[in-house]
Amino acid sequence: MQDQLDRMCRLTRMHAGNTASIGRLPRIALFVSENRTRATSSLYRPMLCLVLQGAKEVTIGDRRLRYDPGSYFVATLDLPACGQIVEASPEQPYICVTLALDHDVIAELVPDLPARPEGHGAGFATSPVSAPLLDSWARMLALLDAPHDVPVLAPLIEREILYRLLQGPQGGVLRQIACADSRIAQIRAAIAWIRAHYDTPIRIETLADLAGMSTASFHRHFKAATAMSPLQYQKKLRLQEARRLLVAKADATHAAYSVGYESTSQFSREYARMFGAPPSRDAERLRGLEEA
């Protein structure tokens, strides 16, 4: 396994900084970092992340996960998350590859697979990587050196990667992406509404109606899927958008009101709690990093 990981690392390092290779493999992204990073908040989209070298930790709601070579991370929902690279150096950089999950491809595969339980309800998890899954990833990355083969072979290998995932420990949850009446699909409908109305007050009853659940059932399933309550989810979206506005040189008051806060003092408290510094000081630090 280590020999295979080493070959994949060499390929990824060779092509990650090559602008000509960016976007060559549909839905695949390559990432290399020689440094550990601070915790950074962002919105994770449905994806598979495979770490080839180094390690990363991610906090989603009240759960913290670590993934490194030998494990993969999968998310089936849009999730506000805080991630940081915890193992990286110039000699042994952090190297990972990601695949954006395509609902249509998953839906095409599910009918050909044996039935299995729906899953544990969480919209994200880490699991040990199997040899067949790693083999399919190795063949996908090998296409970086054979661009003429990409149009024909990349879609086939992507289907194999997803097939391996569907057969693995997270297969039950992954299948829910393809089912319109699954719990994950119901929660996804509520999440889409929160994302579209993050700057306005939300009512749990409205979200429960969208999900086709009672309020008690909706709250329970939302927390199981995202590790946070609907209001916590909305708050994280608001603060992430406020941070983006601050970095773009908006003042704290404008950012607070723009994302739906009525109290600037409450905004400052919650911002500092999430990002570790008051809005203005955090924005100055981030602008300095961009200019460095």
> Which pLDDT tens digit goes with each residue over 190-246?
999 999 999 999 999 999 999 999 999 999 999 999 999 999 999 999 999 999 999
> Which pLDDT tens digit goes with each residue over 21-34?
667 899 999 999 99
| Cα separation, 174 vs 172, whole angstroms | 6
Structural domain boundaries in the chain: 2-176, 183-228, 232-291
CA distances from 56 to 11, 32, 39, 53 (A): 20, 12, 10, 10
pTM of the model: 0.88
pLDDT of residue 20: 58
Q: How many CB atoms lie within 10 A of CB 18?
A: 11
Domain 232-291 has CATH 1.10.10.60: yes
Q: What is the DSSP letter of 118?
A: -
> Which pLDDT tens digit goes with each residue over 25-77?
999 999 999 999 988 889 999 999 999 999 999 999 999 999 999 889 999 99
* The CATH number of the domain covering residues in 2-176: 2.60.120
Q: What are phi and psi of 95, to 5 degrees?
A: -135, 125
Q: ∠ CA 24-26-28 to the nearest 5 degrees?
A: 90
Task: Give the per-residue SS3 of 133-153.
Answer: HHHHHHHHHHHHHCHHHHHHH
